[in-house]
């Protein structure tokens, strides 16, 4: 062993900020020095103090997100319900429109029939008036003739 040299070295690892907060099981089992213990407690307090605002902010953001999602879902369901109601009203109005259109068509046809009936009656009345006028002229002539005959006879 005299020919070999023994070299001692100290290896130090740089810990990332996330790993500094973790407590190893072997560290909790070993007794620590008083100075080392105070130093590690200080680090734990600093980490917990820096994490508290972040946790609070994340909690508030999560709560706001949850409320926003609830409001949006409520709005979506209400708009679907309103859309369904509007579609029903539109269907009812469409049916009413078709009923009124059919009624209007029936009324127009009745009006055409009444117009044709009126024309027929008017033609008949005109024919009757012509016949009456003709008869009146003939009877007037006959009356005149009769009057002259009566006068002649006296």
pLDDT score for 42: 47
10-residue mean pLDDT series, the chain (154 residues): 71 62 50 48 55 91 97 97 96 96 95 93 92 80 61 58
pLDDT score for 20: 52
CA distance linking residue 88 with residue 86, whole number of Å: 5
What DSSP designation does 4 have? S
Model-wide pTM > 0.75: no
For residues 48 and 23, is the Cβ–Cβ distance under 8 A?
no
> Scanning the structure block, which residue is given the tokens 């009757």?
128
Nearest to 85 by CA among 69, 101, 77: 77
CA distance linking residue 101 with residue 11, whole number of Å: 96
């Amino acid at each position: 062993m005299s020919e070999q040299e023994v070299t001692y070295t100290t290896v130090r690892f740089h810990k990332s900020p996330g790993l500094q907060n973790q407590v190893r099981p072997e560290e909790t089992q070993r007794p620590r020095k008083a100075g080392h213990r105070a130093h590690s407690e200080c680090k734990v307090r600093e980490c917990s103090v820096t994490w508290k605002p972040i946790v609070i902010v994340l909690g508030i953001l999560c709560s706001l997100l949850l409320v926003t999602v609830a409001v949006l879902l409520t709005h979506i369901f209400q708009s679907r319900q309103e859309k369904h109601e509007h579609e029903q009203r539109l269907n009812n109005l469409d049916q009413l429109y078709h009923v009124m259109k059919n009624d209007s068509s029936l009324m127009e046809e009745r009006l055409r029939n009444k117009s044709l009936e009126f024309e027929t009656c008017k033609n008949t009345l005109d024919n009757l008036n012509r016949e009456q006028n003709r008869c009146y002229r003939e009877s007037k002539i006959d009356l005149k003739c009769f009057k002259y005959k009566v006068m002649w006879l006296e």
